[in-house]
């Protein structure tokens, strides 16, 4: 069980997507949960938007996240949701 950073609900790891800050500083979504780096779990695009407003994800990942990266993460999340 992992906790979604957006809604604080505990869900199985398989139902969540990990947002990861890699050691080189790049940000990406991790569906496998195995990429190296500091991560936080999110369950939906709505929770990702909520995290953007609250800056909680930036605090957790210990970095500031540029708008371009937020937009990229939201697009990836929406594209992945459409493909499922």
84 confidence band (pLDDT: 50, 70, 90): low
pTM: 0.86
CA dihedral (17, 9, 69, 76) in degrees, to 10, reads 40
Phi, psi of 76 (to 5 degrees): -60, -45
Query: What's the structural domain count of the chain?
Result: 1
**Encoding tokens for residue 70?**
């937020």
What pLDDT digit, counting tens, does each position of 8-67 carry? Answer: 999 999 888 899 999 999 988 888 889 999 999 999 889 999 999 999 999 999 999 888
**Using an 8 Å Cβ cutoff, are 80 and 29 in contact?**
yes
What range defines the domain where residue 59 resides?
2-83
User: Which tokens in the block code for residue 53?
Assistant: 């407003």
CATH number at residue 11: 3.30.1230.10
What is the layout of strands, in order, in the sheet containing 27-30?
A: 27-30, 17-21, 38-42
């Amino acid at each position: 069980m992992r906790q979604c950073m957006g809604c604080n609900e505990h869900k199985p790891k398989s139902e969540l997507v990990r947002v990861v800050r890699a050691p080189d500083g790049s940000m990406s979504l991790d569906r496998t949960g195995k990429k190296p780096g500091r991560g936080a779990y999110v369950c939906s695009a709505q929770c990702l938007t909520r995290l953007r407003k609250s800056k909680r994800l930036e605090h957790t990942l210990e970095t500031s996240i540029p708008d371009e990266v937020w937009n990229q993460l939201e697009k990836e999340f929406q594209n992945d949701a459409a493909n499922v």
